[in-house]
Amino acid sequence: MTSSDDVAAPGDTAPVLDVVDARVTRSGRDLLRDVSLTVRAGEHWALIGPNGAGKTTLLTLCGALGHPSGGTVEVLGRRLGRVELRELRRHIGHVDPRHRMVRDNTVHEVVLTGLTGSSDPELRWRPSREQEERADLLRASVGLEARRDSRWSLLSQGERGRALIARALVGEPALLLLDEPATGLDVAAREHLLDTVDLLRREHPEVASVTVTHHLEDLPASTTHAMLLRDGRVFATGTADEVLTSELVSGAFDHPLTIERLDGRWLARTRRG
């Protein structure tokens, strides 16, 4: 058991996330093998690879939602297997467009559930005035100032994505995890979402983040580092400019690709000739 005082603060010099030789085995099959990843405060990592590469499995470890079968995982200075996971998760923000709720909650209610780590508002829990004010500020910062009392069922997919970012940040996490945040968005909604992520990264420079995606076009310009995964193993890792190259991305996806970066964003297309 640990208290919140035992969790590493964002200003600590220790890595926010330290995965060393992690292995995850299910039904005799390795979903991850010998994977190492170190994320420090202010770094913004992308996990990229084809289906079945192990991206979601690795993100599960990063979010303290599961244990490795081998190797070690330290999140915010606490090693999985030696810490109470529910308390640790309170310091991790998670953005998942597949977020499910029982009730048709308002945007304000959804944002506040980031403080309780619950899918719906907890019946006997009431936020403080300071927590209400922070929720209002974050909702405004993602462009939903006028949508405070709008029901979830009435929001567009893009508005839902931005509300989930506010929800993830309301607890002032040291680590933000984004699981394919642009899933289901049209091009305008995607661009609005990615602009929002870039803005929030500038406003919260101490927060580290890890984003999972299949598509390089879905990466914000503020991405600093990248890891390519293939068949549950690390194919390449390093700064974004070192890793997101035509040669390395083509190798990870086993398909000839040309990778370009324009105005900070990446584009991928099939290499011809």
pLDDT digits 0-9 by tens, 229-241: 999 999 999 999 9
pLDDT at residue 9 greater than cutoff 60: no
In a domain, 99, yes or no: no
Q: Is residue 98 part of a domain?
A: no
Q: Mean of the pLDDT values across residues 162-185?
A: 91
pLDDT more than 90, % of the chain: 73
Same domain, 11 and 115: no
179 forms bridges with which residues in the sheet? 212
Average per-residue pLDDT for the chain: 90
In a shared domain, residues 9 and 133: no
pLDDT of res. 11? 45
- 27-55 pLDDT, tens per residue? 989 999 999 999 999 999 999 999 999 99
pTM above 0.85, yes or no: yes
Cβ-contact 201, 117 below 8 angstroms: no
Closest CA to 89 of 7, 11, 160, 10: 7
Residues 114, 245: one domain? Answer: no
Domain range for 70 is 4-91+173-270
**For residues 69-88, average pLDDT:** 89
Higher pLDDT, 209 or 171: 209
**Domain contains 16:** yes
Confidence of residue 104 (pLDDT cuts 50, 70, 90): very high
| Per-residue confidence band for 22, with pLDDT thresholds at 50, 70 and 90 | very high
Using one digit for the tens of pLDDT, what is the confidence trace for 111-160?
Answer: 999 988 888 888 888 889 999 999 999 999 898 999 999 999 999 999 99
Q: Which residue has the tokens 């190797």?
A: 71
Going by pLDDT thresholds of 50, 70 and 90, the confidence category of residue 60 is very high
Residue 2: what pLDDT? 35
Task: Identify any residues that bridge with 237 across adjacent strands, giving them in sequence order.
Answer: 227
The answer as to whether 200 is a domain residue is yes
User: Are both 168 and 195 inside the same structural domain?
Assistant: no
Supply the pLDDT for residue 107: 95
Residue 111 lies in a domain: yes
pLDDT higher than 60, residue 189: yes
Regarding whether 162 and 79 lie in a shared domain, the answer is no
Same domain, residue pair 184 and 265: yes
pLDDT value of position 7:
54
Last residue in a domain, options 149, 172, 195 = 172
| Mean pLDDT of the region 62-66 | 90
Same domain, yes or no, for 177 and 263? Answer: yes
Task: Specify the pLDDT at position 10.
Answer: 44
Query: How much is the pLDDT for 167?
Result: 93
